[in-house]
Amino acid sequence: MKVRINPERCQGHGRCYDLSPGLFGDDEEGYGRVRGDGIVPPGQEHDARLAALNCPEHAIDLLEEA
Amino acid sequence: MAADDRFTQDYRETREDQRPGVRGEVVTGPVSDWATDFSHVEPEWAADPYRIQDDLRQRCPIARTGRFGGAWLPTRYEDVAAIAYDTERFSSRSIIVSNFRPPRELAPVGTAPPISSDPPFHHDARKLLLPAFTKAQAAKQEPATRAFCHALIDAFAGRDVVDAARDYAQHIPVRVIAGVLGFPLEDGPQFREFVEDLLEGINLPPDERIDRVSRLFDYLLARVNDRLGNLREDLTSYLINAELYGRKLDPSHVVGAMALLLIAGVDTTWSAIGASLWHLAKTPADRERLVAEPGLLPTAIEEFLRAYAPVTMARLVKDDMRWRGVDMKADDWILLSFPAANRDPAQFDRAGEVVIDRAVNRHAAFGLGIHRCLGSHLARMELRVALEVWLQRIPEFTLADPPAVTWAAGQIRGPRALPLRIH
């Protein structure tokens, strides 16, 4: 699984880095940033889904890999 | 270096864009039909807007009123979201519904940038402030906020009943924002007057309202003049020095942004803290669970923000148009109710219930789109610390006198009197 933030939609609510700080951080203006390459380490899939489902702007994409 | 002479003369006397705006008739009194004559400043709305909004969502769902010179009230989440995202057709040049429409020439800057600004100026004005309002910046205020909350509760010693709105909630954001702006802490009581003048005085005769708003700007101009030549590490100093498009900000921009930070920072958070304590005072199961499981508090706070969202914004329609079945006219107000959106059953399961462990909660309490509340990280920190300290110190409390609880009318809703029995 991989996470991605759509910068056109993100408004810096910060729900992703509040809920899943292992996968997301923020930049100097408070917009969400994916940590590293966005590959979700095993066991953190729940955190990834929680962040995506709580983004008020629907800015987080979850890419399920085969 | 030349002295900074931007503030030596009152800029309001010399602004070339000063045009009169449109004053409307003040209409007050009982509402005849909420679908065609709504008013968010009448006592029935203040006491319980949710019942009214739920009814309108089923039968309208976009209510209208001839009051305030004409306004619309969408009640579905999808309509509120669509307007928040549509900055082409809905302007933010005034975001408080009143009987006075500021002149169109005020756009795209508005009187309190960036909340009153439209694109493209909005983006640049907001960018100036974003770095001061990140989660990390808010965290720097946390130790002092926590100590302050403890001091407020220390002062309850010997009392069985306290007013959680007046004796606790309201002081917390006043203290925090005074620190952020570098204002004298003893001016706090004045801030509360400014808030009442601006947000609750909307049905005053327009000229009286304008006079009251001028008092806020007089105060802010005085604070700017205190800081000139005495710059510090506060946001007032930052705004005095900030540059946009290669030059220092217009004096109206500096003072307008300060007005925004002061007003928006105070009674919104005060309302959210008060509404959360009100809910816990009347819901022992939720209170006991949060005392036993403090780790659940951040999740519960999001639910309090959804169910008791304190902030309703406004927009002005730019041009006549048919929009989702209604005929909007240029300069009609839109009362943009995030509280109504947050209780739409099409968006939320069990929308009318408070579910403190709700795991999926895409609420719109801090708005949607480009105007997402700049202070949301600060507000969340204040709300969490205020509730953590209260629940640690006062794990058992009840409403002392339920009929004595009063709620603010207008666009910011929260308890203004909240007597709680704490022993």
Burial environment of residue B22 by CB neighbours within 10 A (0 to 12, 13 to 18, 19 or more): middle
B368 CB neighbours in chain A (<8 A) are 11, 56-57
3-state helix, strand, coil in chain A (%, to 5): 25, 25, 55
pLDDT by residue (tens digit) across A11-35? Answer: 999 999 999 999 999 999 999 999 9
What are the residues facing B65 on neighbouring strands?
B71
Q: How far is A7 from chain B (nearest CA, A)?
A: 12
- ipTM of the complex in this document: 0.97
- Alpha-carbon distance of B407 to B414, in angstroms, equals 5
What crossing angle do the helices spanning B251-282 and B171-181 adopt, rounded to 10°? 160
Looking at the complex, does the CB of residue A48 fall below 8 Å from at least one CB of chain B?
Answer: no
Q: Do B135 and A53 touch (CB under 8 A)?
A: no
The DSSP secondary structure of B132-193, one letter per residue, reads: GGSHHHHHHTHHHHHHHHHHHHHTTTT-SEEEIIIIIITHHHHHHHHHHHT--GGGHHHHHH
% of chain A exceeding 70 in pLDDT = 98
Secondary structure letter of residue B412 according to DSSP: B
pLDDT for res B3: 67
Q: What is the CATH number of domain B51-421?
A: 1.10.630.10
B100-101/B22-23 β-pairing: antiparallel
Helix (H) and strand (E) counts for chain A? 2, 4
B362 CB neighbours in chain A (<8 A) are 53-56, 58
Q: Which domains does chain A have, with CATH numbers?
A: 2-63 (3.30.70.20)
A14 CB neighbours in chain B (<8 A) are 135, 376-377
> Most A CBs within 10 Å: which of B85, B124, B368, as the mutation test of the A interface?
B368
B62-65/B71-74 β-pairing: antiparallel
Of the partner residues A30, A50, A54, the one whose CB lies closest to the CB of residue B130: A30
pLDDT for res B235: 96
Q: What is the pLDDT along chain B (423 residues), one digit of tens a residue?
A: 456 888 877 777 655 445 577 887 888 899 999 999 999 999 999 999 999 999 999 999 999 999 999 999 999 999 999 999 999 999 999 999 998 888 899 999 998 999 999 999 999 999 999 999 999 999 999 999 999 999 999 999 999 999 999 999 999 999 999 999 999 989 988 898 888 877 777 888 877 888 888 899 999 999 999 999 899 999 999 999 999 999 999 999 999 999 999 999 898 999 999 999 999 999 999 999 999 999 999 999 999 999 999 999 999 999 999 999 999 999 999 999 999 999 999 999 999 999 999 999 999 999 999 999 999 999 999 999 999 999 999 999 999 999 999 999 999 999 999 999 998
What are the residues facing B399 on neighbouring strands?
B420
Looking at the complex, does the CB of residue A54 fall below 8 Å from at least one CB of chain B?
Answer: yes
pLDDT for res B14: 54
Q: Do A56 and B368 touch (CB under 8 A)?
A: yes
Of the partner residues B135, B359, B362, the one whose CB lies closest to the CB of residue A26: B135
pLDDT for res B13: 62
What are the residues facing A25 on neighbouring strands?
A33
Distance spanning both ends of chain B, measured CA to CA: 62
Of the partner residues A11, A14, A28, the one whose CB lies closest to the CB of residue B377: A14
Secondary structure letter of residue A39 according to DSSP: B
Bin B346: left if φ > 0, else alpha if -120 < ψ < 50, else beta.
alpha
B130 CB neighbours in chain A (<8 A) are 12, 29-30
- Alpha-carbon distance of B327 to B284, in angstroms, equals 47
Q: How far is A6 from chain B (nearest CA, A)?
A: 13
Chain centroid to CA B77: 19
Longest dimension (CA), chain B: 64
A18 CB neighbours in chain B (<8 A) are 135, 298, 380
B-chain residue closest to A56, CA distance: B362
